[in-house]
Amino acid sequence: MNNNPLSFVQPTADSPWGTYISQVDRVVPYLGHLAKWAETLKRPKRALIVDVPIELDNGEVAHFEGYRVQHNLSRGPGKGGVRYHPEVTLEEVMALSAWMTVKCAAVNLPYGGAKGGIRVDPKKLSHKELERMTRRYTSEIGIIIGPQRDIPAPDVNTNGQIMAWMMDTYSMNTGTTATGVVTGKPIHLGGSLGRVKATGRGVFVTGREAARRLNMKLDGARVAVQGFGNVGSSAAELFAQAGAKIVAAQDHTGTIYNPSGFDMADITAHVKATGGVGGFKGAEAMDGEAFWDVACDILIPAALEGQITAERAQRIKARLVLEGANGPTLPTADDILAERGVLVVPDVICNAGGVTVSYFEWVQDFSSFFWSEDEINLRLDKIMAGALKHIWDTADKHRITLRTATFAVACERILIAREERGLYP
């Protein structure tokens, strides 16, 4: 049967959706009788494309294309972020929503997967234009989101302020204060303590557990981070606190290297002041492609998808790759890293800290009872470490990679729910 879920989407092997389909195909042999339902995983349940017209500050009208895709809702309401980026496409959002389905099931959260985005460069909009675009987009997708239907969250180029506007717009349109319609909100609007750094913390926790299995000491370990935004910087900070040296960093502003390690307080201040790592005086600038040749023990790709190609996989020096981004490693690169003995902790478990604390936020909003940050972190650490142990045991049992094992665990849970719910009508 045709694996293309939508006739106007033609994925290639290295595209986000093509990468996801390849990952599903690899896990089918481990699904047993549930394999009959595998086609479910290759087709989004619902894809919404919306026009987002706004009046610019100069009086002109601009149109932006927005998306919200609900990949699978068998285990619960959709959950997934919203990104603002000039290269957002429907196919990318489809893949991201599918990875959210797998991610939520991998850590056993009662959610399905969803994702949203607008094709826009938000840096070119004023604060008021950004607000108008966010509110119009929220109104357009309001027909399919809701606290028990689909719960957006921050992603690339979106933050707590964007979520506040989304929550307010949805609330005004429904006539009730619906704090649970989004997560990643400001604390005083029902946000959760620990949410901002949760994804980076999840990367650290899974990295710490993986390092133990490899008998790798974090004290003195060399770490290279691609993407020094919320996820990459938070993970770097935690690894530095554990004694590791952050020796290289790369983002849209440049690539920097210091074999002795960065002073985290200095680079954090620099990034806050300038918007990126480029120009940091505590390190030397280097060619962007040379980042993949850096001598390091741990590599954290925390930028966008498709960064680790087959060619780059041959050059990576790290023993351990922690996928802070979604879909950063192409399937061909995955095979090369496995052959070279490089352990990859896949995105669908490695960066699940964000959605886990989003779940905590959602639960707290419903009960109107909020936990301390220490409680949040303890619960997060326990869930992440427990989920990784179960996945690792599955990998050892079948002698498969952690990625295939994560998909095996997650897809079994998703398809059991699909089978038990049955088909309607």
Q: Is residue 71 part of a domain?
A: yes
Q: CATH code at 324? A: 3.40.50.720
Q: Count the Cβ atoms, other than its own, within 10 Å of residue 69.
A: 31
Q: Which residues contact 132 (CB under 8 A, 6 or more apart)?
A: 54, 55
Same domain, 168 and 233: no
Alpha helices in 28-145 (DSSP H): 90-106, 127-141
CA distances (Å), origin 379, targets 147, 190, 385: 22, 19, 10
Same domain, 50 and 170: yes
Cross-strand pairs, 72: 113
Q: Is residue 385 part of a domain?
A: no
Q: Which residues contact 284 (CB under 8 A, 6 or more apart)?
A: 256, 257, 258
Range(s) of the domain holding residue 262:
198-350
Final residue before a domain boundary, out of 350, 381, 411: 350
Same domain, 212 and 174: no
Same domain, 238 and 204: yes
What is the rounded distance in angstroms from the CA atom of residue 26 to the CA atom of residue 316? 24
Selection from 356, 358, 79, 77 nearest residue 191 by Cα: 358
The tally of domains found in the chain comes to 2
pLDDT confidence of residue 14: 74
pLDDT confidence of residue 1: 46
Q: Is residue 251 part of a domain?
A: yes
What is the rounded distance in angstroms from the CA atom of residue 173 to the CA atom of residue 241? 45
Q: Which residues contact 211 (CB under 8 A, 6 or more apart)?
A: 217, 218, 221, 298, 320
Final residue before a domain boundary, out of 350, 375, 390: 350
Final residue before a domain boundary, out of 350, 371, 395: 350
pLDDT confidence of residue 9: 63
What is the rounded distance in angstroms from the CA atom of residue 234 to the CA atom of residue 112? 26
What is the rounded distance in angstroms from the CA atom of residue 232 to the CA atom of residue 225? 6
pLDDT under 70 in the chain at which residues? Answer: 1-10, 13
**SS3 of 98-112:** HHHHHHHHHCCCCCE
Same domain, 217 and 80: no
pLDDT confidence of residue 304: 85
The length of the chain in residues reads: 425
What is the rounded distance in angstroms from the CA atom of residue 79 to the CA atom of residue 75? 11
Q: Is residue 121 part of a domain?
A: yes
pLDDT confidence of residue 242: 97
What is the rounded distance in angstroms from the CA atom of residue 357 to the CA atom of residue 109? 10
Alpha helices in 248-352 (DSSP H): 264-274, 310-315, 331-339, 347-350
Same domain, 241 and 269: yes
DSSP for 181-202 reads G-SS--GGGT--TT-TTHHHHH
Share in percent of the chain as helix, strand, coil (round to 5): 50, 15, 35
pLDDT digits (tens, 9 = 90+) for 292-336: 999 999 999 999 889 999 999 999 999 999 999 999 999 999 999
What is the rounded distance in angstroms from the CA atom of residue 334 to the CA atom of residue 314? 10
Joined tokens for residue 18: 């093509």
Q: Enter the pTM of the model.
A: 0.93
pLDDT digits (tens, 9 = 90+) for 270-298: 999 999 999 999 999 999 999 999 999 99
Same domain, 176 and 209: no
Q: Is residue 58 part of a domain?
A: yes
- Quote the percentage of the chain above a pLDDT of 70: 97
Query: For 343, which DSSP code?
Result: E
Same domain, 261 and 333: yes
Same domain, 221 and 311: yes
Which positions are catalytic? 115
pLDDT digits (tens, 9 = 90+) for 207-237: 999 999 999 999 999 999 999 999 999 999 9
Same domain, 237 and 169: no
Q: Which residues contact 293 (CB under 8 A, 6 or more apart)?
A: 315, 317
Joined tokens for residue 262: 């960065």
Joined tokens for residue 415: 């398809």
Q: Is residue 99 part of a domain?
A: yes
Q: Three-state DSSP class for 133?
A: helix
Q: Is residue 413 part of a domain?
A: no
Q: CATH code at 58? A: 3.40.50.10860
CA dihedral (219, 223, 228, 232) positive or negative:
negative
- Could you identify the residue written with the tokens 């068998």? 74
pLDDT confidence of residue 10: 65
Query: Are 206 and 356 contacting, i.e. CB atoms less than 8 angstroms apart?
Result: no
Same domain, 86 and 51: yes
Peptide bond into 425 cis (omega under 30): yes
pLDDT confidence of residue 139: 98
Q: Count the Cβ atoms, other than its own, within 10 Å of residue 290.
A: 13
Q: Is residue 25 part of a domain?
A: no
Query: For 301, which DSSP code?
Result: E
Same domain, 145 and 228: no
